[in-house]
Amino acid sequence: MSENTKFSFKAETNKVLKIITHSLYQQSEVFLRELISNASDALNKARLKKLTSDTILDPDLELEIKISIDKTNKTLTISDSGIGMSKKELMENLGTIAKSGTENFLKALEEGENDSSELIGMFGVGFYSAFLVSDKVEVVTKGISTKSTGWKWSSDGEDSFSIETIDKNERGTEIILYIKDDESEYLEEFRIKQLIKQYSNYVAFPIKLIKEDEEEEDEILNEQKAIWRQSPDEVTEEEYDAFYRYLGQSGTPLAKIHVRVESPIQFSAILYIPSFKPQNFGMTNDKWGLTLYNRKVLINEYNKDLLPEWSRFIVGVVDGEDFQLNVSREVLQSTRATRTIEKYLTKQIIKKLEDIANETQKLIDEDEKPESFIDYMLLWREFGAFIKEGVASEAKHKERLIELLRFNSTDENGKDGSVSLEDYVKRMEVDQEKIYYLTGLEYDLLKNSPHLGYYEKNKLEVLLLGEPIDSFLMMHLTDYHEKEFFLIDQDEEESGEENEDGDSASNSDNEEEQETKLKEGPFAPLLNKMVDVLGGRVRDVKMSDRLVGSMARLVTPSGGINSNLQRAMKIMDAQGGNAGLGLPMMGKVLQLNPENEIIITLNNIIEKDTKDERIEPLILQIHDNARILEGDVPDFSDMLKRVETIMNYSLNQK
């Protein structure tokens, strides 16, 4: 005789159900992940039970998950051949929110030797995600014991549920979802396949799509084999590359890191260094982070808590055994676990970068490279900006990251951008106390900078930093092996740097008096006129013996705002939507070359007639030329008109 009994959900359960179906989950599609996780859990329980009991129903039944779509009746069925449930378990597990059968099952196994590591459920709320897409849910189940009875649980997710006895031959559980009209996408095969691939691809049991047409062969939808849980010795290069492409990458990775950690937190991970940076992957791209699994079930795709931000070019997966997740199983809750994993993975990433850099340095002069050789310079050209960001932001690992930096320089061996700070220091002159460098927004401009003339003449190597990030980097680098960094676009006379004759210039005069008093000496006419014409565009105008070949340059005076800081501020303004990059570098001193023919001729013209109409456009153009060489952007409309005026003067000379 059949038994059919109706029950009310326990007090406040209907309110909790509404919270679950309307607030707990961010996307309705996760219902399939939750139900498959529960099915996998039930299969693991059955597998463990078979090891400890002789009274097993259907002992040879294949452990699998089946999905059936019935468009006529608008139902989606997820079934498993797992441990099943009794009436009491239905009452406890489905009639009470957050009463997790898995939790009790784990307690029962605490003193046993069976491996319970594959059990997923923790909170007992995943089942109720079915009501995200369903008007009604039926659960048909039969326990694993030979004495078990079949039961059907049914509810519309409102105030009550019913339980009745049924005839069911095989053990296991079927969950039948009566799909809402506005959720009909979940009755399409392609959508179900997509969700299995996304969330449950590595569940340990086969997930079969049962075809409505009996002549069609059932389709297994998941891979099942989670290579990150295997020993690295068991995984082939083809499998590593295939999984890399599964993560949405193309081609093959430059390098990989495969780790399995048992203590203090048990987790597995595979990290990849891509061969190249995607075109749309900028410094502000938000689509980064590791794919996080908990016992092979996807939690989220872009977990940003497991890597430092500077290493966001890394792609890969982390899978834990006992992660503490929030109730919707979409967020890793334990900050301790997060910090532990992030700390371990950061060290592994830095070590891999060091190994590649050291191997490259070791083999740099050898004609034949081993097949496994990875050229660090390929990696650096794609991801060097991120490592620079790490130096500026990662205090804990700063010293190790500094050794990974590579630069262009004025040395004949520095044209390929492979100069390390260790290389530079080894080549320094015996009495050289500073590491000379120059920053700018473009490498091509730096190569032709007027700041280099003096250093090239005296065979002093200068590091050339031509990326926007370099200004931020050098704000965090003060010295290397007790050698101070010196930005060569500073006014050496004021900063105490020795001039070409070996004398250190005095800076004893009051700074304000120096800027306002009339200039003296053979170039006084030109200097005084330039101060008058340029006004607030510059802080001062001087002659300098540091210019070799170039007509003029702009330098930072002692106590002025460092060019690195000014560029950083301009870049931040530009990123914030302001026209920061078009603003001139402020508070600069314009230095002139006393041996340059244009400077000499212009001084002579001013000596004869300070009102000559050629003077002002020439002075403004000299200043704009110096700005351009600094990477500044003058008003090109005004400049072009001025150039035409200068050309006209030249053509009409008698």
CATH code for the domain of 301: 3.30.230.80
Give the pLDDT confidence score for residue 290 in this predicted structure.
93
Residue 434: which CATH number?
A: 3.40.50.11260
Residue at 562: amino acid letter: N
Mean pLDDT by 10 residues, the chain (654 residues): 66 58 72 91 90 86 95 96 92 67 52 47 65 93 93 86 92 96 95 93 93 86 89 94 90 95 91 84 70 84 90 94 57 71 95 94 72 87 95 93 96 90 92 92 86 92 92 90 92 52 40 59 94 92 91 86 72 59 71 95 94 93 90 84 89 71
Domain that holds residue 330: 227-352
In a domain, 359, yes or no: no
In a domain, 234, yes or no: yes
Contact 380, 276 (CB under 8 A): no
Contact 306, 290 (CB under 8 A): yes
Residue 171: which CATH number?
A: 3.30.565.10
Tokens of 381: 């050209």
Q: Residue 450: which residues within 8 A CB-CB, separation 6 or more? A: 547, 549, 550, 551, 552, 553, 626, 629
Give the pLDDT confidence score for residue 65 in this predicted structure.
96
One domain for residues 91 and 192? yes
Q: Residue 601: which residues within 8 A CB-CB, separation 6 or more? A: none
In a domain, 136, yes or no: yes
Give the pLDDT confidence score for residue 511 in this predicted structure.
46
Give the pLDDT confidence score for residue 27 in this predicted structure.
81
Which of 167, 200, 220 terminates a domain? The answer is 220
Q: Residue 563: which residues within 8 A CB-CB, separation 6 or more? A: 439, 471, 487, 489, 556, 585, 630
Residue at 111: amino acid letter: E
One domain for residues 168 and 286? no
Give the pLDDT confidence score for residue 300 in this predicted structure.
82
In a domain, 360, yes or no: no
Closest CA relative to residue 263, chosen from 356, 341, 155, 372: 341
Which of 168, 190, 220 terminates a domain? The answer is 220
DSSP letter at 145 equals B
Give the pLDDT confidence score for residue 574 in this predicted structure.
60
Give the pLDDT confidence score for residue 585 in this predicted structure.
65
One domain for residues 213 and 291? no
pTM of structure: 0.75
Please work out, in degrees rounded to the nearest 5, the angle formed at the alpha carbon of residue 417 by the alpha carbons of 413 and 421: 80
SS3 label, residue 356: helix
In a domain, 399, yes or no: no
Q: Residue 532: which residues within 8 A CB-CB, separation 6 or more? A: none
Task: Quote the CA–CA distance of 134 and 182 in Å, as a whole number.
Answer: 10
One domain for residues 276 and 341? yes
Closest CA relative to residue 148, chosen from 239, 196, 82, 246: 82
Task: Quote the CA–CA distance of 607 and 194 in Å, as a whole number.
Answer: 82
One domain for residues 288 and 170? no
User: Where does residue 626 rank: exposed (0-12), middle (13-18), buried (19+ CB within 10 A)?
Assistant: buried
**Number of separate domains in the chain:** 3
DSSP letter at 628 equals H
What is the gyration radius of the CA atoms in the chain, in angstroms? 36
One domain for residues 209 and 233? no
First to last CA, the chain: 123
One domain for residues 574 and 597? yes
One domain for residues 573 and 456? yes
From residue 461, give the alpha-carbon distance in Å to each of 293, 405, 412, 456: 50, 17, 9, 7
Give the pLDDT confidence score for residue 16 in this predicted structure.
59
The 3 state secondary structure assigned to 438-467 is EECCCHHHHHCCHHHHHHHHCCCCEEEECC
Q: For 435-462, b where at least 16 C-beta lie within 10 A, e where not — what string?
A: bbbbbbbeeebbeebbbbbbbeeeebbb
One domain for residues 11 and 53? yes
Which of 309, 336, 352 terminates a domain? The answer is 352
One domain for residues 434 and 313? no
In a domain, 392, yes or no: no
Task: Quote the CA–CA distance of 298 and 200 in Å, as a whole number.
Answer: 7
Strand runs labelled E in 304-361 = 315-320
Q: What φ, ψ does residue 371 adopt, rounded to 5°?
A: -60, -30
In a domain, 384, yes or no: no
One domain for residues 65 and 157? yes
Residue at 153: amino acid letter: W
One domain for residues 216 and 254? no
In a domain, 363, yes or no: no
